[in-house]
Amino acid sequence: MEVREIRLPDGNRWATCQIARTLWQRMRGLLGRDGLPHGHALWIQRCGSVHTVGMRFAIDLVFLSRDNAVVRVIPDVRPGHPFVWGGWKAATVIESAAGGLDLASVPPGTRLSFV
């Protein structure tokens, strides 16, 4: 999978992410993993909702619009949820291990860049 750095509007690094672009990568997501290192995430393209059925750890979710603006932040989603929706404008999602990223620095409206 391709790896990118996610930057905040001020140019500071927020996370390192793998990009799930293909259908198989998007369907698999974080299933089968035991966690992610602190500061790392998975960016799932074309994804407005997720599930955590079969997950092994809690995750934080940051849903983005098509122009990479934060639409919704959902912290600490426990395994077993059949449906977590990002909202009407959600086009992609960033998944990280719960507590692995500073969610306070990405309130709704924040535009992220991928370098």
Q: What is the pTM of this model?
A: 0.94
Q: Which structure tokens are listed for 23? A: 């259908």
CA distance 64 to 62: 7
What is the per-residue pLDDT for 1?
A: 78
**Residue from 78, 91, 33, 69 nearest 51 by CA:** 78
pLDDT digits (tens, 9 = 90+) for 58-111: 999 999 999 999 999 999 999 999 999 999 999 999 999 999 999 999 999 999
